[in-house]
Structure 1
Amino acid sequence: MSLHLLDKAIKGIKGEKKVKIKGNVVLMKKNAFALPDVPGAVLDSVHELLGQKVSLQLISAVNGDPEKGMPAKLGKVAYLKKELVPKDLKDLLIAIKPNDSNFRVTFEWDEELGVPGAFIIKNCLNTEFYLKTLTLEDVPGYGELHFVCNSWVYPQGKYRTDRIFFSNQAYLPSETPAPLRLYREKELMNLRGDGTGELEEWDRVYDYDYYNDLGSKDAGHVLGGSTFPYPRRGRTGWLPAQKNGPSEILQLLDFTRRKVYVPRDEQFNHVKMPAFFAHSVKSQGHLVKSQSRLFLPSLWAVCNNSTDEFESFQEVLKLYEVGFEIPLIENIMQCIPSEFVKELAPKNGEAHFQFPMPQVIKEDKHAWRTDEEFAREMLAGVNPVIICRLPEFPPTSKLDPKDYGNQTSSITREHIENNDLEGLSIDEAMENNRLFILDYHDALMPYLRKINSTSTKTYATRTLLFLTKDGILKPLAIELSLPHPEKEEFGAISKVYTPAKYGVEGSIWQLAKAYVSVNDYGYHQLISHWLNTHAVIEPFVIAMNRQLSVVHPIYKLLHPHFRDTMCINAFARRTLINAGGIFEKLFFPGKFAMEFSSMIYKSWAFPEQALPVDLIKRGIAVEDSNSPHGLRLLIEDYPYAVDGLQIWSAIKTWVQDYCSCYYKTNEMVQTDTELQSWWKELREKGHGDKKDEAWWPKMQTLEELIEACTIIIWMASALHAAVNFGQYPYAGYFPNRPTMSRRFLPEPGTFEYQELEQNPEKVFLRTITAKPFALEAVSLIEILSRHSPDEVYLGQRDDDHKWTRDTRALEAFKKFGDKLVEIEKRIKEMNRLEHKWKNRVGPVKMPYTLLSPIKGKDLDMGIPNSISI
């Protein structure tokens, strides 16, 4: 029934015209003891007893008020009333803790108001509160009406316009009731801001800026624009470091004062912030207090004064089996908010740290070194999104020969045919889709001379692999390449290494695999993880809040998948990707890390982020209408792809069912003004360096809308889960996933080569990440791999069934959740059949659960809705 028919029915109700509507407001107060505003919070609790400090006013969804020049009829102002009044000071102190508080509110209603569609709230207290919901219990002729708010409401003096919240009914712009249209438009105007001024924590402005806050003075760290193209990030409005300079002042990171600006509703909540901070301190043994570093020198104190090296793998294992003591910085505990670190108090000036046992060595301490596990992790590890089918032999390069000379691989048939190809020639193996490649040659070669000018000493790698009849991958050869010592135009200098198990040849082979792992993990962190999930999603968050009203169906669809993303990205700009930050210090591209990621972004295309498109592009799958999901995998036992296609299909079915509730024709997509503005701004501003239409769907059909929303949800949920939460299980044991290499491969006849013959473990450990950097890396990835205690997972919503009034949408969402439960059961069953699906468990006995949608007890289970860590 339409609102106007309801309104007509309401006017027919017999009895008194004016009635009372009871409402229940759920809100959470600011935690007075976490932030320096105790007097204000106590005063607010007193004001609650006096009343009339928080007012609400209903806005009609059906009737205007032309006599007063108002677009909608407004109800009379009503005030919150607390059901339970604190009896003494103890109750008063309990009342200001950050727990949900229930308030009653009673509205006077008459038939001229009709059905409410929104309400105005004014906060006349001294501090902000978090407004969760308003529920009207019995609106005449309508019944229960929900307003899902989930927003911080600051004192009224902080705002230029009134705070407005809408009911949970979704509307396309053209279908919005006339009295609500102006409020809908004004709310979007407020969220866009005017593009000027420094933004404060109470501002609700979403706007774009370059990545110009990565270094205080170094213009080379400004990303975005024609030289270093990049997605945009949220604008802060901070002043430039130099007059008319390109870079913002780099603000100090201070967890107690929210120096990192993002709109307050995008910040971590009262549960996640303390957990995130406290776990950081526990894991790292220090307080974050530096603009360019996460780590204070306390971790370095663990290292022996005479060496920064591990001497053996057994010494590395002690990090997990025994632990170590870290001297804490003097007075450090005085700097940490008490509620953040309840269990961190050191004894005798030291704190004991013991890293959890990474799953990759939990069952077998040596299996990570096998060729089978090395190859399996390309299909089921932390970076299973790079491996491709080998299209031609020898592998060729797409680098311009005018600039880089001959970059064709030096791997010969003799190198390959010395391996067992199960009776196949190279040509036959290629024709039967049995040869694959992990190729970092073209990505790294243009930067390798720069990278190796630092403390890093590494190679551009190509790794060829053979798919055996047992369904596992077997490495055939590794090519290590360097630029020509004189000029890039002279081509690459390459050496090829083949598998060996024993003697110095076996040690050389282990080092060759380590160089591949260095490439793979550095590329994973910068590209697969940071760029292709965190960075590319932020413009979608900004554009949605600027152009799609909260009552727009697509806003309701996408909003859960953007939770905490702007906040975690802002922290990353302070400590991880900034100049001199963690990425530059720990991962092999060093100070060229972000510049390198910018060059990779040049080839980023939105449609190719769809899993089926990606698999076909990499030659891993072919279209097949007779196969599930319309694809046939060329590696049948490819855990990431097998599980991913199930999740992808479930997401797409959910999006299709949902969008079909609101869009019946392509014309409805084309005439949706907010949707078209969102898509246009996303391309032209959010991803402004890639605004050419060739990179994007045109958003003219329902099919394009469904595909676009599916890609967005996939990137923000499943893709991020696949490349993030496996970090500690696989890379927590850093010899398996080293972050850098510091020496080139020893040459025969040298001292280093003799040392390799005599003590291969020592040489291996002195080639990869040094001890202090390894400790920092393990600390970092333990944090990144940990699920938040308040996480909301795929198929769930934190506002339950109240997020929409549309029953068809709720039914479709339940169907989605049920499908995910089925997928979870299927994944568990496949993991149990390890004799059949060998790549799902592998030599390390580690089941693949990174795309298990339901949260389990392990770090690597559960797909969060959003990029929230």
Structure 2
Amino acid sequence: MGFRSGSEIVHGMAGMCCVSTKSKKKGIEPSAYSNNSMKKKKKIKGTVKLMKKNILDLSDVKASIFDRVHELLGKGVTLQLISADHIDPANGRGKLGKAAPLEKWVTKITSLTAGESEFGITFDWDETMGVPGAFIIRNHHHSQLFLKIVTLEDVPGHDGPIKFVCNSWVYPTHRYKYDRVFFSNKSYLPHQTPEPLRPYREEELINLRGNGSGELKEWDRVYDYDYYNDLGSPDKGPDYARPVLGGSEKYPYPRRGRTGRKPTQADPYSESRLPLLNLNIYVPRDERFSHIKFSDFLAYALKSLGQVLVPEISSLFDKTFNEFDTFDDVLSLYEGGIKLPNGAKVRKLKASIPWEMLKELARDDGERFLKFPMPDVIKEDKSAWRTDEEFGREMLAGVNPVVISRLQEFPPKSKLDPTEYGNQNSSIRAEHIEMNMNGLSADEAIRSNKLFILDHHDAIMPYLRRINSTNTKMYATRTILLLQDDGTLKPLVIELSLLHPQGEYHGAVSKVFTPAEQGVEGSVWHLAKAYVSVNDSGYHQLVSHWLNTHAAIEPFVIATNRQLSVLHPIYKLLHPHFRDTMNINALARQILINAGGVLENTVFPAKYSMEMSSVIYKSWVFPEHALPADLLKRGVAVPDPSSPHGLRLLIEDYPFAVDGLEIWSAIETWVTDYCSFYYSSDGLVQGDLELQSWWDEVRNVGHGDKKDERWWPEMRTRAELFQTCTTIIWVASALHAAVNFGQYPYAGYLPNRPTISRRFMPEPGTPEYAELELNPDKVFLKSITAQFQTLLGVSLIEILSRHSTDEFYLGQRDDDNHDWTSDHEPKEAFRRFGERLMEIENRIMEMNLDGKWKNRVGPVKIPYTLLYPNTSDNSRVGGLTGKGIPNSVSI
């Protein structure tokens, strides 16, 4: 039963007395009035879809037993409807109906495999209270449940069913200090919210913000900010200490979700870490992986040896075993697996591996293990990756196609401070490149937009001395390429630079290498390309992938949940694009980007990896991550009002940009159509208090180290809102897909994308140079990523490149595409969005089959599908598909 306050009861009794007196005066019997009152009472039937805790966690037997006991004791799950039309004068809130229990919880048999259960519910509802717009749920059970959707039928005064899309974990009532409230799927701007629902809307946001103190627990629904102060483990010693990223001019960074763990003993500014294998890092419960997603993640993580096995596995790799002597040795990873050496070390290893992991690692061929899927880059041709054409093509259609830019001055110049780094300008001269330019001069090629550059020099150089003080031996690189008539890029020259041995302020010491195919010169050129790939691999992982998608999006996730109500149309627009992001970022901080983690063990900056990404974040500007702005900034496109996208690509056969602009345009149209329905004027944008609070918090807190207003839209116009939402969705979906899901197809074969270099370029007249002449393949393999780091790296990117079986792709939603809003026009716009994406899919497949587009397939015969939306009904198969744009940064 629901409870009413004393004032409600008195008011109700007074009203009844009054009515009875009037009735008698008119000669109407009180019983007649009573019958009329009863007619105003209606039974509203509803269905509640949810998932029980024991369905999702078979190990928790108590979840089933105790919940049934609680039901028998009268402690069930109840829902209480809230009127959207009438205010209770006692508290200024929507009037409450009587609490109603879920029906037949004890007797309803639920399948262990079905997952979802459906329960009936019957509400007593007074027609005079109008239409319900929300409900309170109280879970008196022992365990939490996942509430999916509530549907009300035959609601008086309302045409059709009312749906409440919940998709949220509801814990037992004693875990909350407030009522759990869910709203119907109607969207409202703040000032349009029905008065009876406003207090509930405002209080829900207050609850989600928390109070900023204390360690957060799994049932807490708190979205809050913190610095990246949990990467190091200073209590383990100085080798494991890492600087705090964020909150300082020296190390700026986007904010991450707060957990509230205690500080370390050695450093009060660093947060203590959980034990390595504890993956229960706090993120708000609704941001956690689904049961299916987490099961997939764990299954594939078994193959990523991780740090738990690093000491045991690495002990097997002595100085000889830790090398690939031939390319056939590398291929054995995919064709037969690694052959373990015999002896006590192997027996010790087996004894230390949990049985579940041993089953995964064990193969039918006995002592062989770690057999990986064949990467696409060597499926059709085992050597095509070595060609210059493929080297250039991957800058346009590979795993990191977002760095190449047009060369606009020759020789290239550095932007590093000359007072600190001396002369860092390029030593490349016209005579180095003009011999391979088909008769063009360097000046002519610049004027005709034919020269392009992959320039990692300025990003790497400030850290080069520290990086090379470790076992890593690498260069800062520049690569200049010529755009040929057939649309392909021809590498012309590679510059490898080191800091001057007498001090950084003396500038760079550089060497220039030009293409060669035969003899030792060909081997030297092949090594030069490897050094470029090492630069590009590290920059890709730390900046293009981690910083610009994972880290940059998380503050938007937090701010959206803190400042935009679930009733807000912009919340409904953006929410699907934040799925799983906080969870995967938390897992990354725990096992990948932490001190001594997998990333530090497999990518060249090692312990300086995250620090380096922080320095690069100094130049991060949000509007420049809109695809058209990015292409214009890099000079690979020029403005063209006559073009459908407002710009013209200078490399016509640029698969990432060509497909990307189609996806961008589809997102932009969808966002414009959707937002226009709710915002008919700029004044509505300016007057939307939730929207303005959201944008202020993103800029001043979430990305608080980038407060300068010049770096952000003002959010005063509809155009700024449309562009902002389009950019967020682009980064979270398509950009992440483009830089993530090609990792295994291209970098699963490490010689194509080495992550570490361990030797400098051999000098003529040295034993190393003689060895290069005698056995170039062996020298190449000894110069790049070692065997153990290769195993760790390939294991990691195999996990990161897999689509989950419960993934939702661009153009799909996890609420059946129909129930997420009750507004017809937005749903129609979303349907058109899906149709547009299917048209793009067809166009991509047609272009991939058209031989004139050489960069779409290339010598390695990999069709470019990283920006293939994958909206078809059979898309949710998961695995290493190499195509599909998930809605969010979800892996």
Q: Which residue of structure 1 lines up, in the alignment, with residue 452 of structure 2? A: 436
Offset of residue 83 of structure 1: 7.4
Q: Which residue of structure 2 lines up, in the alignment, with residue 746 of structure 1? A: 762
> In structure 1, what residue type is equivalent to 2:205?
L
Offset of residue 296 of structure 1: 3.2
TM value normalised by structure 2: 0.91
Classify the secondary structure of the residue corresponding to 1:600. helix
Q: 2:134 aligns with which of 105, 118, 126?
A: 118
Which aligned pairs between 1:214-363 and structure 2 lie closer than 5 A? Answer: 214-217=231-234, 220-225=242-247, 226-242=249-265, 245-254=268-277, 258-281=279-302, 283-284=303-304, 286=305, 293=307, 295-297=309-311, 299-300=313-314, 303=317, 306-324=320-338, 329-330=349-350, 352-363=369-380
> In structure 2, what residue type is equivalent to 1:619?
G
Q: Which residue of structure 2 lines up, in the alignment, with residue 556 of structure 1? A: 572
Q: Which residue of structure 2 lines up, in the alignment, with residue 810 of structure 1? A: 827
Classify the secondary structure of the residue corresponding to 1:31. helix
* CA gap 1:702/1:851 in 2 versus in 1, 3 angstroms: same
Offset of residue 124 of structure 1: 0.5
Q: Which residue of structure 1 lines up, in the alignment, with residue 886 of structure 2? A: 864
Distance, in Å, in 2 between the alignment partners of 1:722 and 1:277 is 24
Distance, in Å, in 1 between the alignment partners of 2:441 and 2:593 is 46
Offset of residue 96 of structure 1: 6.3
* CA gap 1:752/1:325 in 2 versus in 1, 3 angstroms: closer
Distance, in Å, in 1 between the alignment partners of 2:228 and 2:317 is 35
Distance, in Å, in 1 between the alignment partners of 2:857 and 2:309 is 35
Q: Which residue of structure 2 lines up, in the alignment, with residue 377 of structure 1? A: 394
Distance, in Å, in 2 between the alignment partners of 1:424 and 1:354 is 48
Distance, in Å, in 2 between the alignment partners of 1:810 and 1:341 is 49
Offset of residue 598 of structure 1: 0.4
> In structure 2, what residue type is equivalent to 1:652?
E
Asked if structure 2 preserves the Cα contact closer than 8 Å seen for 1:52 and 1:80, the reply is: no
> In structure 2, what residue type is equivalent to 1:309?
E
> In structure 1, what residue type is equivalent to 2:528?
A
Distance, in Å, in 1 between the alignment partners of 2:728 and 2:740 is 17
Asked if structure 2 preserves the Cα contact closer than 8 Å seen for 1:311 and 1:765, the reply is: yes
* CA gap 1:61/1:692 in 2 versus in 1, 3 angstroms: same
Q: 2:53 aligns with which of 20, 24, 30?
A: 30
Distance, in Å, in 2 between the alignment partners of 1:333 and 1:585 is 20
Q: 2:711 aligns with which of 680, 687, 695?
A: 695
> In structure 2, what residue type is equivalent to 1:78?
A
Q: 2:198 aligns with which of 178, 181, 184?
A: 181
Q: Which residue of structure 2 lines up, in the alignment, with residue 777 of structure 1? A: 793
Distance, in Å, in 2 between the alignment partners of 1:782 and 1:576 is 14
Classify the secondary structure of the residue corresponding to 1:443. helix
Distance, in Å, in 1 between the alignment partners of 2:694 and 2:683 is 17
> In structure 1, what residue type is equivalent to 2:77?
V
Q: Which residue of structure 1 lines up, in the alignment, with residue 494 of structure 2? A: 478
Partner deviation per Cα, 1:520-544 (whole Å, 9 max, x = no partner): 0100000000000000000000000
Distance, in Å, in 2 between the alignment partners of 1:865 and 1:112 is 43
Distance, in Å, in 1 between the alignment partners of 2:384 and 2:364 is 38
Asked if structure 2 preserves the Cα contact closer than 8 Å seen for 1:850 and 1:861, the reply is: yes
Partner deviation per Cα, 1:76-105 (whole Å, 9 max, x = no partner): 01000137825xxxx6xx656671111111
Q: Which residue of structure 2 lines up, in the alignment, with residue 10 of structure 1? A: none
Asked if structure 2 preserves the Cα contact closer than 8 Å seen for 1:325 and 1:353, the reply is: no
Asked if structure 2 preserves the Cα contact closer than 8 Å seen for 1:30 and 1:98, the reply is: no
Offset of residue 280 of structure 1: 1.1
Q: Which residue of structure 1 lines up, in the alignment, with residue 14 of structure 2? A: none
Offset of residue 297 of structure 1: 4.0
Asked if structure 2 preserves the Cα contact closer than 8 Å seen for 1:82 and 1:102, the reply is: no
Distance, in Å, in 2 between the alignment partners of 1:408 and 1:333 is 52
> In structure 1, what residue type is equivalent to 2:763?
E
* CA gap 1:795/1:348 in 2 versus in 1, 3 angstroms: closer
State the percentage of identical aligned residues: 64
Q: 1:645 aligns with which of 619, 643, 661?
A: 661
Which stretch of structure 1 is more off in the superposition, 584-593 or 526-535? Answer: 584-593
> In structure 1, what residue type is equivalent to 2:432?
H
TM value normalised by structure 1: 0.93
In the alignment of these two chains, the number of paired residues is: 836
Classify the secondary structure of the residue corresponding to 1:61. strand
Asked if structure 2 preserves the Cα contact closer than 8 Å seen for 1:324 and 1:353, the reply is: yes
Offset of residue 411 of structure 1: 0.6
Q: 1:43 aligns with which of 66, 70, 75?
A: 66
Q: Which residue of structure 2 lines up, in the alignment, with residue 489 of structure 1? A: 505
Distance, in Å, in 1 between the alignment partners of 2:843 and 2:112 is 47
Offset of residue 34 of structure 1: 3.7
Classify the secondary structure of the residue corresponding to 1:803. coil
Asked if structure 1 preserves the Cα contact closer than 8 Å seen for 2:361 and 2:369, the reply is: no
Classify the secondary structure of the residue corresponding to 1:747. coil
* CA gap 1:760/1:561 in 2 versus in 1, 3 angstroms: same
Which aligned pairs between 1:3-14 and structure 2 lie closer than 5 A? Answer: none
Asked if structure 2 preserves the Cα contact closer than 8 Å seen for 1:62 and 1:177, the reply is: yes
* CA gap 1:331/1:80 in 2 versus in 1, 3 angstroms: farther
Offset of residue 767 of structure 1: 0.2
Asked if structure 2 preserves the Cα contact closer than 8 Å seen for 1:294 and 1:582, the reply is: no
> In structure 2, what residue type is equivalent to 1:467?
L
> In structure 1, what residue type is equivalent to 2:408?
P
Classify the secondary structure of the residue corresponding to 2:822. coil
Distance, in Å, in 2 between the alignment partners of 1:39 and 1:84 is 14
Distance, in Å, in 1 between the alignment partners of 2:382 and 2:277 is 40
> In structure 2, what residue type is equivalent to 1:568?
I
> In structure 2, what residue type is equivalent to 1:261?
Y
Asked if structure 2 preserves the Cα contact closer than 8 Å seen for 1:272 and 1:788, the reply is: yes
Which aligned pairs between 1:444-459 and structure 2 lie closer than 5 A? Answer: 444-459=460-475
Asked if structure 2 preserves the Cα contact closer than 8 Å seen for 1:26 and 1:101, the reply is: yes
Distance, in Å, in 2 between the alignment partners of 1:486 and 1:640 is 42
Distance, in Å, in 1 between the alignment partners of 2:433 and 2:368 is 52
Asked if structure 2 preserves the Cα contact closer than 8 Å seen for 1:42 and 1:96, the reply is: no
Asked if structure 1 preserves the Cα contact closer than 8 Å seen for 2:243 and 2:611, the reply is: yes
Distance, in Å, in 1 between the alignment partners of 2:828 and 2:468 is 56
Asked if structure 2 preserves the Cα contact closer than 8 Å seen for 1:45 and 1:95, the reply is: no
Q: Which residue of structure 1 lines up, in the alignment, with residue 837 of structure 2? A: 820
Q: Does residue 674 of structure 1 match 2:695?
A: no
Which has the greater radius of gyration? 2
Q: Does residue 78 of structure 1 match 2:127?
A: no
Classify the secondary structure of the residue corresponding to 1:668. helix
Distance, in Å, in 1 between the alignment partners of 2:119 and 2:369 is 46
Which stretch of structure 1 is more off in the superposition, 374-383 or 620-629? Answer: 620-629
Which residues of structure 2 form unaligned runs of 5+? 1-35, 235-239, 341-345
Partner deviation per Cα, 1:115-166 (whole Å, 9 max, x = no partner): 1111000011111011001000121121200000011100100001010000
Distance, in Å, in 1 between the alignment partners of 2:622 and 2:597 is 29
Which aligned pairs between 1:385-404 and structure 2 lie closer than 5 A? Answer: 385-404=402-421
Q: Which residue of structure 2 lines up, in the alignment, with residue 628 of structure 1? A: 644
Asked if structure 2 preserves the Cα contact closer than 8 Å seen for 1:45 and 1:96, the reply is: no
Offset of residue 33 of structure 1: 7.9
Offset of residue 294 of structure 1: 5.9
* CA gap 1:333/1:149 in 2 versus in 1, 3 angstroms: farther
Distance, in Å, in 2 between the alignment partners of 1:610 and 1:549 is 26
* CA gap 1:35/1:696 in 2 versus in 1, 3 angstroms: farther
